[in-house]
Amino acid sequence: MSPFGFSTTSEELVKALADKIKGRTFLITGTTVKGLGAQTAVSLARESPANLILVSRNKAKVDPVLEEIASINPNVKVTFVTCELTDFDSVRAAAEKINNDASIPKIDVVINNAAVMNVLEYTLDKQGIETTFSADHLGHFLLTNLIMNKIIAAAPGARIVNVTSRGHGISPFRGDDYNFSDGKEYDGWSAYGQAKTANILYSGELSRRLASKGIKSYAPHPGTIFGTNLAAHLTDYDFNKIGEAAKRNNPGGVWGGVGEKKTLSQGAAPLLAAALDPDFDDKPGSYIEDCQIATTYEYTRDPEAARKLWEISEKLVGQKFDF
């Protein structure tokens, strides 16, 4: 069993697993200052990775993170890549920049962290897809699969981390109606639940498809962290409506609440555990909570749902992937 838990900080975790960081290349999405991705990147910088690739839509909001990394360890190479995950043209341009960069021969770990949560009004992305599903799953699906050759170059031992949430208990993947009947059946928490379930299903399917190459994928839940940009638009009233959405979408399930509050550093620890902890080597595709393997709702472990998600994702991004 992993020695880490609820109270483990990101600084403690990287120090304990420093040998899994030194000289390796990490790609992290959603690295705006004061967020989980930024905390993850800064923590990794302390243990001398070869390269940190920070993928975000707004460089100005990442500049303080770049400065902090430089102050901690000026020898770490940092590559910033602009990407709007809900714009598939932007995702393809970001992937092309990464693939054409000779200074990035391989990517050892991808941490798909960027997300939106409980978008209060029904909105569509550039392609006409519900925004939460696009930002939290489809953009990462496309980006990760487009740079897969760089990940395969780091195998065996490469990992792909798709950050999920306990919010997966709000809703299964709505395979026949991912766009909520053109908004008629939309609510923000159900959209978030669907996207977080997709993160777990995608991790399982990636682990299955890439098993022969020695690449594993995991889906960690950071925990409840207030004060990040993710929840800045939400009130206690909004959070109190989660249970209603969960009951509506998952009648057999019991919503256990959002959980005890964590610090930003404690929240980044499960992401780093998923990226680094060797105790998870024999459990690919797992859901991780409090730095430990945890149980999820059965619909997140359904191989048929994972296969259907993959096929629908390929259709929506307009490209098939076979590894």
Kindly report, residue by residue over 107-137, the tens digit of the pLDDT: 999 999 999 988 889 999 999 999 999 999 9
Q: Is the predicted pLDDT of residue 233 greater than 70, yes or no?
A: no
Of residues 225 and 257, the one with the higher pLDDT is 225
Window from 49-53, 146-150, 238-242 with minimum mean pLDDT: 238-242
298 pLDDT more than 70: yes
- Residue 236's pLDDT is 64
Residue 229 has pLDDT above 70, yes or no: no
Residue 321 has pLDDT above 70, yes or no: yes
Would you say 56 and 114 are in contact if contact means Cβ atoms under 8 Å apart?
A: yes
Cα-trace Rg, the chain:
18
| Predicted confidence (pLDDT) per residue in 49-94, tens digit | 999 999 999 999 999 999 999 999 999 999 999 999 999 999 999 9
Q: Would you state the structure tokens that stand for residue 129, as one six-digit string?
A: 């897809």
To the nearest whole number, what is the mean pLDDT of the chain? 94
Q: Is the pLDDT of residue 226 over 90?
A: no
Distance CA 15, CA 19 (A): 9
Cβ atoms of 5 and 290 within 8 Å: the answer is yes
> May I ask the CATH class of domain 10-315?
alpha beta
Phi and psi torsions of 9, nearest 5°: -95, 165
pLDDT of residue 224: 87
Instruction: Supply the pLDDT for residue 44.
Output: 98
pLDDT of residue 2: 83
**What local confidence, expressed as pLDDT, does residue 116 receive?**
95
Contact 274, 161 (CB under 8 A): yes
Opening angle at CA 175, ends 174 and 178, nearest 5: 55
Lowest pLDDT segment from 18-22, 119-123, 204-208, 265-269: 119-123
Proportion of the chain above pLDDT 90, given as a percent: 85
Q: Is the peptide bond before 156 cis (omega within 30 degrees of 0)?
A: yes
- Residue 307, judged by CB atoms within 10 A of its CB (0-12, 13-18, 19+), counts as middle
Handedness of CA 207, 56, 11, 136 (dihedral sign): negative
pLDDT of residue 18: 98
Please determine, for residue 201, whether its predicted confidence score (pLDDT) is greater than 60.
yes
**CA-CA distance, 208 to 286, in Å (whole number)?**
12
Q: What is the pLDDT of residues 263-276, one digit of tens each?
A: 999 999 999 999 99
Q: What is the pLDDT of residue 231?
A: 56
Whether residue 240 has pLDDT greater than 90: no
SS3 label, residue 32: coil
**2-5: long-range pairs with CB below 8 Å, 24+:** 2/273, 2/277, 2/279, 2/280, 2/291, 2/292, 2/293, 4/269, 4/273, 4/277, 4/291, 4/292, 5/290, 5/291, 5/292
Nearest to 94 by CA among 149, 32, 34, 29: 29
- 230: pLDDT strictly greater than 70: no
